[in-house]
Amino acid sequence: MSDMPLSAPELASRIDHTILKPEAGSAEVHRVATEAIQLGCASVCVAPVWVRRVATMLRDSGRHVCTVVGFPHGTSKSTVKAIEATSVVKDGADEIDVVAHLPNLLASDVDAAKAELIEIVRAARAARPDVTIKVIVESALLLKVLGPDAGAAALAASCRAVRESGCDFVKTSTGFHPAGGATVEAVRILRQHANGIGVKAAGGVRDLPTALAMLEAGADRLGMSNTVEVIESLRKRTP
């Protein structure tokens, strides 16, 4: 993977430059949004409270505004998630990363997972038909609690629910769950079962080797906060 012919702009275009720590203030959010513009990232991912301000900053920049719904635990009622999704889309979000109700995924209950996601999708797309919706499934939790075989089956079921509910991406992790973040193993499983939806790796993607390994495993998009350092590392190694 170290020989992968990927330029710094190409890598940046696959990164959601992220700042989701709850203590982040306006100056830090402004800095991250500015970095996303300068680097040419796919999006800047911020907490819902910052969406309106960041959408104004990014207007006409070619960069997308991404935010989170039901974050970080996914335990809000589906109706509440739908309301939050509608609100952030109206504030200017181009993309939303929704935390699924994890008990549904642990049980491989595709119907229940779909029912939740469909409610969110309908609400968000009523506000903006082209909004991109990614679903966080906490892949590390599924693999850790259920074991390799049952965990892989749960990830496959999660992909089916995401796909059949009309969402666009399956995403590994919030980065806040104690079970851990993205792994190459999880990304490979998600890629195998994605069948037309994108795969986003997030949580613990903090350096260039990890970022490249996730892309090689099949990730279409990366979520990370160390974007500047990772891009600089790639520039240093590129002739």
Catalytic residues: 97, 171, 200
By residue count, the chain amounts to: 239
Q: Residue 235 burial (CB < 10 Å; 0-12/13-18/19+)?
A: exposed
**Which regions of the chain does DSSP assign to beta strands (E)?**
15-19, 43-46, 64-69, 95-99, 132-136, 169-171, 198-202, 221-224
Q: How far apart are CA 144 and CA 161, in angstroms?
A: 20
What tokens were used for 117? Answer: 């996601």
DSSP calls for 157-198: HHHHHHHHTT-SEEE---S-STT----HHHHHHHHHHHTTSE
CB 114 within 8 A of CB 161: yes
Amino acid present at 133: I
CB 186 within 8 A of CB 143: yes
